A = this chain, B = another copy of it.
Amino acid sequence: MTAHVSLPPEGPASEEPGHTTGEPRWLDAEEQRAWRAYLYSAQLLLDRLDRELTHETGISHAYYEVLVALSETPGRRMRMSELADRCLSSRSRLSHAVSRLEERGWVRREVCAEDGRGLLAVLTDEGFAALAAAAPVHVESVRTHLFDQLTPEQVAAMRDLGETLLRHLGPR
């Protein structure tokens, strides 16, 4: 009955008044239901999108995001750190990812003129072509599993929810 975020109590723990540590702010049944619905649906959705993209194009969602970020930039190139931020990725993770994309011939590293420490990730024509092939597959998944399921009001609520959380979690 009690679910997920709270410890299943044998009954509410005895509470002494004037506590110092503070009793955990457990979720009530309604909150649990909302939280679980959000958590499960988000996990299932992201998983599904990633799987469909990966299986139909050979590009994981993580790689896809890297390619998209590069493709949207003038000259199709970006500093490694900036790219990491845009992809919600750690520096290390991005570094590994770019190495693997480099092996596929989709990205190339270039030294940065203004900063001798810096590198630019550059999207190659092959990389752009791979992205062009994958994009219709991905957009169809997003339509099918997300937008086709929602009313315009729900889409608006989704955006509102997302933007509210982003203000807290920070665009970094």
Contact = CB atoms under 8 A, between A and B. Distances in A.
Interface of A: 1-8, 24-27, 31, 33-48, 65, 68, 71-72, 88, 131-132, 135-136, 138-140, 142-143, 145-147, 149-150, 154-170
12 contacts: A3-B72, A4-B65, A5-B139, A8-B71, A24-B139, A26-B139, A31-B155, A34-B155, A37-B159, A44-B169, A154-B164, A161-B161
Of listed A31, A38, A167, residue having the most chain B CB within 10 A? A38
Which 6 A/B pairs are nearest by Cβ-Cβ distance?
Answer: A37-B162, A34-B159, A24-B136, A7-B135, A41-B165, A157-B157
Contact of A41 (B34, B35, B155, B162): B162
